[in-house]
Chain A
Amino acid sequence: DGGITQSPKYLFRKEGQNVTLSCEQNLNHDAMYWYRQDPGQGLRLIYYSQIVNDFQKGDIAEGYSVSREKKESFPLTVTSAQKNPTAFYLCASSLLDGSSYNEQFFGPGTRLTVL
């Protein structure tokens, strides 16, 4: 079955540590996205990528980094520079053909807690 997988589902990190969240898709989508979700804040875009080896900052990129070495994979690293990293992180992907109606497909999310 096609879809998006994120791992792990729950992640705990000590302050000062970097941590990497995994996102893999087998939908053959060109574009991939990382969102952060906080209670009452909706979803905010961290980074997105439209093609391998290229990615762009979203609205809240500070303290995060990404890579896109393969079409299927778009890992997100939460660095120690991120001041308030505890949140629910969602990865998404979509086709990218210049139209506006291609939906984004979401993974199940990773809940990161900083201890």
Chain B
Amino acid sequence: GNSVTQMEGPVTLSEEAFLTINCTYTATGYPSLFWYVQYPGEGLQLLLKATKADDKGSNKGFEATYRKETTSFHLEKGSVQVSDSAVYFCALKEYGGSQGNLIFGKGTKLSVKP
């Protein structure tokens, strides 16, 4: 079945450090890939998405490239801020899937220290 695997956290970085959160997936078809962010005590917000191979999603300085050959969608940011502290979820959605729901990774908690 479809699945998403994320690197386990927590990840602790100093402000302005480079961030990478690894995400790999298993899917039988041609999924779309998403990164969601969850700030403390809140729901999830879409951070970025990519719908086909080699697409790059980007938003708020975050980027992720859909790599079909390595089945990966790693999240990167060149210089993190304290305000980026949150839990990040990688997710996939199968094209034409009857459920229409997202398959989530377990989440990676990021803490950025001043």
| Chain A contacts to B: CB under 8 angstroms | 4, 6, 31, 33, 40-43, 45, 48, 50, 56, 58, 90, 92, 94, 96, 98-101, 103-109
Q: What's the nearest-Cβ distance from chain B to residue A73, in Å?
A: 17
Q: Which of A101, A105, A106 contacts B49 (CB 8 A)?
A: A101
Q: In the complex, what distance in Å separates the CA atom of A42 from the CA atom of B5? A: 11
**Given A42-B107, A103-B34, is A96 in contact with B100 using a C-beta cutoff of 8 Å?**
yes
Q: Which residues of A contact B32 (CB under 8 A)?
A: 100-101
Residue of A nearest to B30 (CB): A100
Q: Which residues of B contact A43 (CB under 8 A)?
A: 44, 89, 102, 104
Which of B12-20, B68-76, B78-86, B90-98 makes up part of the contact surface?
B90-98
Q: Which residues of A contact B101 (CB under 8 A)?
A: 33, 45, 48, 58, 104
Q: What's the nearest-Cβ distance from chain B to residue A107, in Å?
A: 5
Contacts A/B (CB < 8 Å), 24 sampled:
A4-B43, A40-B106, A40-B107, A41-B106, A42-B104, A42-B106, A42-B107, A43-B44, A43-B104, A45-B99, A50-B100, A58-B99, A58-B101, A90-B43, A94-B100, A96-B100, A99-B95, A100-B51, A100-B95, A101-B51, A101-B93, A104-B46, A104-B102, A109-B42
Q: How many contacts between A and B, using CB within 8 angstroms? A: 62
Q: How many residues of B contact A (CB 8 A)?
A: 27
Q: What's the nearest-Cβ distance from chain B to residue A64, in Å?
A: 15
Q: Which residues of B contact A96 (CB under 8 A)?
A: 100
